[in-house]
């Protein structure tokens, strides 16, 4: 008989049988291995599949979707090591085989003797990429995907590059912590002596990252010296790729096309991939509006890439922010189970289409679609470090010097980095006390102001250099004066013509600056959801670096990957009606 799970929560109905090293043979003969959690009962059950390069038994998976609990509720949960990782055979090349291997695994799972033949996929980060790539191959048994904190489709707008600047810290962190150890461990089976040397190198790098001494090297290509093979190439090597390098297209290929499937998108306001998660949702929404697919579902919490507790950073967002609680007594495991019980049963899920956590209000809001209806409120940078509803009638200017040898440190935000560079809603005094950071602050609010959606900035600036960066950050100033980061963005001056529209990249020839000339820059600060309470203030920071999140601009027009020569840039931010520098906020009506 076929038994569909309950759509209510995830009630325990069955004992669970766990099978290790279950083999699936791919079309080229390579064997991939899985752990299978299934009801210890007669009958057939729908399958929830995830594919990971980080180890199928990694305990962090259980906090996101608990395989034992979900299997007890009437699903077969399969957790597979991707090709070349941990228990699976073959060679691991990031992204390259996830499409065909995903197709083959979905069809294999559908044919298992305890499967109904209906398969859904789930998982976050790289697990999400494996879903998109499998879905693009259109395996007949795949009925839905649930990508969480999902990259793809945004290589040049936050995945690998942001506003023309390289996502330096994230690339090094992923290569060192997530990919490197397993690659070295696998090497130990064929060349133990080389593996031992690689481990020694890995440990040296790990210590330097922990002490925050690793990221200051110039040129960046020097980081490949004495580094483990996988870390040297492709990780360090990729830091020097041009903005139009083909690897960017490989990254985008995961989700640059909508799929004809139900989708559940899960993201975090402080996740490095929140932009791509939302863009994937928007793509599916447009696909749905055309009648080609069901309407997508969306959940966004105050989460970072690896922390779904709601406790990270300098702000506690309350129990409802925790993935284990949410707003309805459901955790993310039960949300997945509830949604898939309907989707795999060809029914409409009885869940809100959009569920987002509004920081400051510290509660979840539901909508039929995202973004919520809003009006754009412009706040203009004004003389004396203030923010105003209208641009000043007279011209103004605020100056600072940017020295690449003493960059502004990364403190919080939507990041994913090793060492002590934590993501999230972090207090900003260490940043705002610096001479190379301009701070513009509004008056205390007299009533609540809710901002939900994409934030952008328009900056009129000049520089003494032929190339430089500009960083804009939106902060929430609490009633006690504590400044908390919300969201930020960067533009590299020579790529300004490629980033004229927030959230979009257009291929254009790089163009150096004429020193002293005023240029207009569009800076995408990504999206957020926050309620500013009475007595709180809105703050905007302007500076030229966030190290080591983004690679430093040397102010010479040369790449930090190739050069160690730099100059100090004198920067001027211009204000007034002729140069209306401003931040644009989507305010809920």
Domain with CATH 2.60.120.260 in the chain: 374-588
Residue 501's Cβ-count burial label (10 Å; 0-12, 13-18, 19+) is: exposed
523, two tokens: 């800076």
In contact, 309 and 316? CB cutoff 8 Å: no
Per-residue pLDDT for 516 more than 80? yes
Q: What are phi and psi of 504, to 5 degrees?
A: -130, 145
Radius of gyration of the chain (CA): 24
Spatial separation of the C-alpha atoms in residues 271 and 414, rounded to whole Å: 5
How would you class 96 by CB atoms within 10 Å of its CB: exposed for 0-12, middle for 13-18, buried for 19 or more?
Answer: middle
191 — pLDDT class (breaks 50, 70, 90): confident
In this model, does residue 233 exceed pLDDT 90? no
Q: What is the rounded CA–CA span in Å between residue 370 and residue 353?
A: 9
What is the biggest distance separating any 2 CA atoms in the chain, rounded to whole angstroms? 79
* Chain CA centroid to CA 187, Å: 30
For residues 210-236, give the mean pLDDT.
87
Q: What is the DSSP string of 260-306?
A: SS-BEEEEEEE-TTHHHHHHHHHHHHHHHHTTSSPPPEEEEEEEESS
This model's pTM is above 0.85? yes
Cα angle, residue 504 at apex, residues 502 and 505 outer, rounded to 5°: 125
Catalytic residue among 34, 88, 115, 125: 125
Q: How large a percentage of the chain has pLDDT more than 70? A: 97
Q: 357 pairs with which residues across the strands?
A: 364
pLDDT of residue 17: 97
Which among 185-199, 243-257, 287-301 has the top mean pLDDT? 287-301
Residue 476 pLDDT > 50, yes or no? yes
Distance between CA atoms of residues 279 and 419, nearest Å: 29
CA distance 187 to 185: 5
Report the candidate in 351, 327, 325 with the shortest Cα–Cα distance to residue 339. 351
Contact 12, 41 (CB under 8 A): no
- CB hemisphere CA count around 132 (13 angstroms): 31
**Mean pLDDT calculated for residue range 154-181:** 86
Q: Reduce the secondary structure of 407-439 to three states and give it as a string.
A: CCECCCECCCCCCCCCCECCECHHHHCCCCCEE
Q: Look up residue 352 and give its two tokens.
A: 């809100």
Per-residue H/E/C for 219-252: CHHHHHCCCCHHHHHHHHHHCCCCCCCHHHHHHH
305 is catalytic: yes
| The domain over range 374-588 is classified in CATH as 3.30.390.10 | no
| Tokens encoding 341 | 């019980």
In this prediction, residues 231-260 reach a mean pLDDT of 82
Cα 538 to Cα 521: distance, rounded to the nearest angstrom: 21
Mean pLDDT of the chain: 92
Q: How confident is the model at residue 380 (pLDDT cuts 50, 70, 90)?
A: very high
Helix axes 192-210, 180-187, angle to 10 degrees: 160
Least confident of 297-301, 371-375, 489-493: 371-375
Q: Given this model, what pLDDT does residue 297 score?
A: 98
Question: Which residue in 104, 271, 436, 524 is the catalytic one?
Answer: 271
Please identify which of the residues 305, 336, 338, 547 carries the catalytic annotation: 305
Quickly tell me which residue has 């670096």 as its tokens.
545
**79-98 residue pLDDT tens:** 999 999 999 999 888 888 99
Q: What are phi and psi of 193, to 5 degrees?
A: -65, -45
| pLDDT for 61 | 66
Residue 15: active-site member: no
Enumerate the CATH 3.40.50.1820 domain ranges in the chain, comma separated. Answer: 16-156+260-367
CA atoms within 13 A on the CB side of 306: 14
In this structure, are residues 164 and 130 in contact, taking their beta carbons and an 8 Å threshold?
no
Which range among 70-74, 176-180, 203-207 shows the weakest confidence by mean pLDDT?
A: 176-180
Listed range (90-99, 102-111, 350-359, 428-437) with the worst mean pLDDT: 90-99
The predicted pLDDT at position 239 comes to 86
- Domain spanning 16-156+260-367, CATH architecture: 3-Layer(aba) Sandwich (3.40)
Going by the DSSP 8-state scheme, the letter that residue 321 receives in this structure is G
How many whole angstroms separate alpha carbon 26 and alpha carbon 29? 5
Mean pLDDT calculated for residue range 224-244:
83
DSSP state letters, 491-554: EEGGGGGG-SSTT-----------TT--EEEEEEEEEEEEEEPTT-EEEEEEES--BTTSPPP-
Q: What is the band of 63 on the pLDDT scale with cuts at 50, 70, 90?
A: confident
Q: Which of 124, 403, 380 is nearest to 276 (CA)?
A: 124
Neighbours of 40 (CB within 10 A): 11
* pLDDT higher than 70, residue 328: no
pLDDT at residue number 7: 45
| Triad 122, 124, 128: Cα angle to 5° | 65
Mean pLDDT lowest among 143-157, 193-207, 221-235, 564-578: 221-235
Q: Which of 471, 475, 486 is nearest to 550 (CA)?
A: 471
How high is the pLDDT of residue 11?
61
pLDDT of residue 9: 47
Residue 584: pLDDT over 80: yes
Whole-number pLDDT of residue 1: 38
Catalytic annotation on 245? Answer: no
pLDDT for the residue numbered 332: 92
């Amino acid at each position: 008989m076929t038994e569909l799970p309950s759509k209510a929560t995830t009630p325990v109905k069955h004992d669970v049988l766990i099978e290790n090293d279950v083999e699936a043979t791919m079309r080229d003969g390579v064997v991939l291995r899985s752990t299978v959690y299934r009801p210890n009962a007669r009958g057939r059950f729908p399958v929830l599949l995830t594919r990971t390069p980080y180890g199928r038994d990694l305990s962090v998976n259980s906090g996101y979707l608990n395989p034992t609990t979900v299997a007890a509720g009437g699903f077969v949960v399969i957790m597979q090591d991707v090709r070349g990782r941990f228990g699976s055979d073959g060679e691991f090349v990031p992204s390259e085989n996830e499409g065909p291997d995903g197709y083959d695994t979905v069809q294999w799972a559908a044919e298992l003797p305890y499967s109904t033949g209906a398969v859904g996929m789930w998982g976050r980060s790289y697990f999400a990429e494996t879903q998109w790539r499998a879905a693009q191959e259109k395996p007949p048994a795949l009925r839905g995907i649930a990508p969480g904190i999902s990259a793809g489709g945004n290589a040049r707008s936050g995945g690998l590059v942001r506003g023309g600047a390289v996502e330096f810290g994230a690339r090094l962190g992923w290569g060192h912590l997530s990919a490197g150890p397993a690659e070295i461990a696998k090497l130990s089976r064929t060349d133990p002596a080389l593996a031992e040397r690689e481990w020694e190198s890995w440990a040296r790098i790990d210590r330097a990252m922990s002490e925050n001494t690793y990221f200051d090297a110039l040129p960046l290509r020097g980081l490949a010296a004495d580094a483990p093979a996988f870390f040297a190439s492709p990780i360090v090597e990729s830091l020097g790729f041009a903005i139009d390098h083909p690897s960017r297209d490989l990254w985008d290929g995961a989700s640059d096309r909508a799929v004809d499937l139900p989708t559940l998108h899960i993201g975090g306001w402080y996740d490095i991939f929140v932009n791509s998660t939302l863009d994937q949702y928007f793509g599916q929404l447009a696909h749905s509006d055309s009648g080609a697919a069901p309407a997508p579902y969306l959940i966004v919490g105050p989460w970072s890439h690896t922390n779904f507790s709601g406790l990270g950073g300098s702000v506690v967002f309350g129990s409802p922010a925790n993935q284990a609680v949410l707003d309805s007594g459901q955790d993310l495991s039960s949300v997945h189970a509830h949604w898939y019980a309907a989707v795999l049963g060809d029914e409409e899920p009885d869940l809100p289409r959009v569920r987002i956590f509004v920081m400051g209000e510290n509660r979840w809001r539901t909508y039929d679609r995202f973004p919520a209806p809003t009006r754009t409120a412009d706040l203009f940078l004004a003389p004396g470090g203030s923010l105003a509803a209208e641009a000043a009638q007279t011209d103004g200017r605020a100056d600072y010097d940017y020295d690449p040898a003493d960059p502004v440190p990364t403190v919080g935000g939507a990041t994913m980095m090793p060492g002590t560079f934590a993501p999230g809603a972090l207090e900003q005094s260490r940043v705002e006390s610096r001479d190379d950071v301009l701070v513009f602050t509004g008056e205390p609010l007299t009533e609540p102001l809710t901002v939900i959606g994409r934030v952008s900035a328009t900056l009129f600036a000049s520089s003494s250099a032929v190339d430089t960066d500009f960083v804009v950050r939106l902060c929430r100033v609490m009633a006690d004066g504590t400044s908390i980061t919300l969201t930020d963005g960067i533009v590299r001056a020579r790529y300004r013509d490629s980033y004229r529209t927030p959230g979009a990249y257009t291929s254009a020839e790089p163009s150096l600056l004429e020193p002293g000339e005023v240029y207009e820059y569009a800076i995408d600060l990504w999206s957020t959801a926050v309620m500013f309470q009475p007595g709180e203030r809105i703050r905007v920071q302007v500076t030229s670096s966030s190290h080591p999140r983004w690679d430093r601009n040397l102010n010479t027009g040369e790449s930090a990957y190739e050069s160690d020569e730099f100059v100090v840039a004198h920067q001027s931010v211009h204000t007034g009606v002729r140069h209306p520098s401003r931040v644009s906020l989507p305010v809920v009506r």
